[in-house]
Amino acid sequence: EAQVTQNPRYLITVTGKKLTVTCSQNMNHEYMSWYRQDPGLGLRQIYYSMNVEVTDKGDVPEGYKVSRKEKRNFPLILESPSPNQTSLYFCASSSGTGELFFGEGSRLTVL
């Protein structure tokens, strides 16, 4: 089954404790992206990647890092999480010109 898988789905952590949200897709998509979704602000892009070893900043990259060492994986790293990073995070992938396929989302709370 074609899918985008994110982990963890739910996480409560404390300020400053490094965490990684993993994302994996099995559709051989070149394009992958991370979004955060907050009430009243909609989906905002954090980082995206056009292909392996190619990443670029989206609209809200501050406080986040990503890597794309393999085509299927695109982890989101929060080196020192802060409460303003409490949000619902979505990973997505596409073939480039096609539709975006979303993961189920990761709800992160930073205390």
Partner 1 sequence: GQNIDQPTEMTATEGAIVQINCTYQTSGFNGLFWYQQHAGEAPTFLSYNVLDGLEEKGRFSSFLSRSKGYSYLLLKELQMKDSASYLCAVRDKSTGYALNFGKGTSLLVTP
Only one of the segments 11-19, 31-39, 64-72, 76-84 lies at the binding site for partner 1 (rule: CB under 8 A); that segment is: 31-39
Shortest CB 30 distance to partner 1, Å: 10
Cβ of 106: how many Cβ atoms within 10 Å? 22
Instruction: Categorise residue 28: left if φ over 0, alpha if ψ from -120 to 50, beta otherwise.
Output: left
* Residue closer to partner 1 (CB basis): 75 or 103: 103
Q: Contact, 34 vs 15, CB < 8 A?
A: no
Extract the tokens encoding 46.
Answer: 């954090």
61 makes contact with partner 1 (CB under 8 A):
no
Shortest CB 59 distance to partner 1, Å: 8
96 makes contact with partner 1 (CB under 8 A):
yes
Cβ of 61: how many Cβ atoms within 10 Å? 16
What's the chain's Rg over C-alpha atoms? 13
Strand-pairing partners, residue 47, are 34, 57
Shortest CB 100 distance to partner 1, Å: 5
Among 1, 62, 69, 99, binds partner 1 (CB under 8 A): 99
Instruction: Give the binding site for partner 1 (CB under 8 A).
Output: 31, 33, 35, 40-45, 48, 50, 56, 58-59, 90, 92, 94, 96-97, 99-105
